Amino acid sequence: MGTEQISYMIIGNGIAGITAAETLRSEDSAAAITVIADDPFPVYYRPALKDYLAGRVQESKLWARSTDFYQQQKIGFLQERVVAIQPNQHSIHLQSGRSVPYSRLLLAPGTRASTLTCPGIDLVGVSTLRTVADYQRVLSRLSGVRRVVVSGSGTLALETIETLRHRGYQVTHLIRSKLLWSEVLDQTASDLVQQQEQHDGVDVRLQEEIAEIRGSRDPQSGSQQVREVVTTSGVRIPCEMVIIAIGVEPNIDFVKRSGIICGRGLQVDVAMRTSAPDIYAAGDVLETTDALTGRTRVVGQWYPAVQQARAAAYSMLNLLDTGQPFSALTFYNATFLYGLAFASVGLTKFPLKFPTSQNKEYREIVADPQPRLYRKIILRGDIPVGMLALGDRNSAMALKRAMITVSISLV
């Protein structure tokens, strides 16, 4: 590589980085492309990690690309950590001390798992669940575990708890608020999922957080290992493992230090460009603003990351059609929440008001309640702007297509 100018540099080898690299290569067979990442694993199917934990998917099936992908595509790869960017000099600085030049740069470093700052967080047996290495570490310890405490209320916490219960472990679920996944679920949907948990034997505790994790010395290894957690209400819960599943944070510390404009995540325009010249961004690090609510968030979903990466790559090639910008309005999320099929499209919480002087009212239509089934649609006027389905998601895709059709008129 030497000191030659690199045409395209990509930071991050997750699905966004890899998709962008593939797109660049397919459109420019002669370009010099380099990917930099400190994760030693090739891109993997993150949605499949829950099945890996359950034993339904072997580790060899996790990888989304072959181990010789970079060689086949004639793409350079550096296993390094980026510590700074100098936009004016068109160069990045690595932890090893090296500086590497670029012509156009894509930022796709992904996110890291959020964690707690309480005493005992460094004890053996405490883990987050984000990377393959995290799951490997948990799996390697399960043979010596009987009781697990899981902190968090979103899909990762629920999927992990369901998997561990089906494997026979005693699980206590600590939830900071009164609702499960409070950003998406309303009271009725949260109650329905909670009932499923409790019916399966999970000890669910609302408005409880971990205040301290206590350990004891393992006589064989000599390390301090998890023995119990103490909650904010003073309750002591014996356990051998603690899993923190409280969300993710964009890996943008080095980006902020470089003077590129960031909020909760990286901010881009319709051409996926950041505030710095010749620097683009895609994937989990992106901050998006919902045009209907004005709420800013980091999405962190597989398919939007693929869409964003393709758009960024075409923009880097000066081939992007900005008349068809990526829209956050039609995000579709489908999964299972403790055995219940779940899907959401657009807005899911009510009441809502349009965040402008128009102040247009929203209303919701809720289907007749049935056991293990809850469905509602949110309308702005007579136009559907959101849907939540729990127990039956067959109509979700049809509504998503309808929302895509009218999305331009809504914003």
Please give the sequence-ordered ranges of beta strands (E in DSSP) within 152-274, or none if there are none: 170-175, 203-206, 210-217, 224-231, 236-238, 241-244, 248-250
In DSSP notation, 68-131 reads THHHHHT-EEEE--EEEEEGGGTEEEETTS-EEE-SEEEE---EEE----STTTTSBTEEE-SS
Query: Residue 405: how many CA atoms within 13 Å on its side-chain side?
Result: 8
In the chain, the domains with their CATH numbers are: 8-52+61-111+249-316 (3.50.50.60), 126-246 (3.50.50.60), 332-410 (3.30.390.30)
Stated length of the chain = 411
pLDDT digits (tens, 9 = 90+) for 51-109: 999 999 999 999 999 888 999 999 999 999 999 999 999 999 999 999 999 999 999 99
Q: For residue 175, what are the β-bridge partners?
A: 206
pLDDT digits (tens, 9 = 90+) for 141-166: 999 999 999 999 999 999 999 999 99
Residue 2 clears pLDDT 50, i.e. is over it: no
Closest listed residue to residue 184, CA positions, set 373, 53, 401, 337: 337
Contact (Cβ atoms closer than 8 angstroms) between residue 258 and residue 243:
no
What pLDDT is attached to residue 358? Answer: 45
Contact (Cβ atoms closer than 8 angstroms) between residue 11 and residue 253:
no
Contact (Cβ atoms closer than 8 angstroms) between residue 24 and residue 8:
yes
Residue 33 clears pLDDT 50, i.e. is over it: yes
What pLDDT is attached to residue 350? Answer: 63
What is the gyration radius of the CA atoms in the chain, in angstroms? 23
Confidence of residue 291 (pLDDT cuts 50, 70, 90): low
Q: Which of 208-212, 234-238, 258-262 has the lowest mean pLDDT?
A: 258-262
Q: Looking at residues 260-279, what average pLDDT do you find?
A: 94
Q: What is the pTM of this model?
A: 0.90
Give the H/E segment covering residue 408. helix 396-410
Alpha carbon distance 327, 304 (integer Å): 9
Local structure of residue 240 (DSSP, 8 states): S
Q: Residue 176 burial by CB count (10 A; 0-12/13-18/19+): exposed, middle or buried?
A: middle
Closest listed residue to residue 385, CA positions, set 360, 356, 358, 406: 406
What pLDDT is attached to residue 381? Answer: 82
Side chain identity at 81, as an amino acid letter? R
